[in-house]
């Protein structure tokens, strides 16, 4: 290989290293907050809780262990569940789901991991 090609390859390698260094060390403003979707599926994927007061039957079906029939039953008793949850202590609000036929203590506790019953709960993003 001639010296010209050797110098050219060294120069190109250095330019590449400098370019990689500059692009990784310079932080551009991120557009991530603008790209975050607020649909229930995306919220669940990010590990966020869903507001039970704003839930839809389709969003309920996304939860593990919730069938279409059970989602419809939960949705039809939504107001009753919310009223009952207000009468319970915050750490026991999950028991309000037990009003629905087919939901026992274990399922109610599992639902409380995905659904926020208390209206004053703080959420990082709007509904």
Backbone torsions φ then ψ of 95, nearest 5 degrees: -65, -15
pLDDT of 9 reads: 84
Average pLDDT over residues 89-110: 92
pLDDT at residue 31 tops 80: no
Average pLDDT over residues 13-19: 75
Place of tokens 């839930």: 55
User: Where residue 38 falls among pLDDT bands split at 50, 70, 90?
Assistant: confident
88 located within any domain: yes
pLDDT at residue 77 tops 60: yes
101: which DSSP letter?
T
110 located within any domain: yes
pLDDT at residue 81 tops 70: yes
Reported pTM: 0.65
Same domain, 84 and 27: no
Same domain, 21 and 67: no
Same domain, 18 and 67: no
24 located within any domain: yes
Same domain, 95 and 112: yes
Question: How many angstroms separate the Cα of 72 from the Cα of each of 69, 78, 96, 100?
Answer: 5, 10, 16, 10
126 located within any domain: no
Structural domain range at position 8? 3-31
Same domain, 45 and 102: yes
Same domain, 52 and 108: yes
Cβ-Cβ contacts under 8 Å for 52 (sequence gap 6 or more): 78, 81, 82, 115, 116, 117
Average pLDDT over residues 1-16: 77
The tokens of 121 are what?
């709960």
Same domain, 57 and 85: yes
Stronger pLDDT, 13 or 109, i.e. the higher one: 109
Place of tokens 């309920």: 60
Same domain, 15 and 62: no
User: Where residue 25 falls among pLDDT bands split at 50, 70, 90?
Assistant: low
Cβ-Cβ contacts under 8 Å for 112 (sequence gap 6 or more): 93, 94, 97
Same domain, 12 and 50: no
């Amino acid at each position: 290989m001639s010296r010209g090609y050797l110098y050219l390859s060294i120069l190109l390698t250095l330019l590449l290293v400098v370019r990689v260094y500059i692009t990784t060390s310079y932080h551009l403003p991120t557009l991530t907050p603008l790209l975050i979707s607020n649909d229930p599926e995306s919220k669940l994927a990010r590990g966020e809780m869903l507001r039970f007061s704003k839930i839809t039957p389709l969003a309920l079906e996304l939860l593990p262990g919730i069938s279409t029939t059970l989602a419809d039953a939960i949705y039809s008793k939504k107001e009753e569940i919310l009223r009952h949850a207000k009468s319970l202590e915050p750490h026991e609000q999950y028991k309000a789901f037990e009003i629905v036929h087919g939901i026992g203590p274990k399922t109610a506790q599992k639902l409380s991991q995905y659904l926020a019953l208390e209206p004053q709960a703080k959420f990082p993003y709007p509904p």
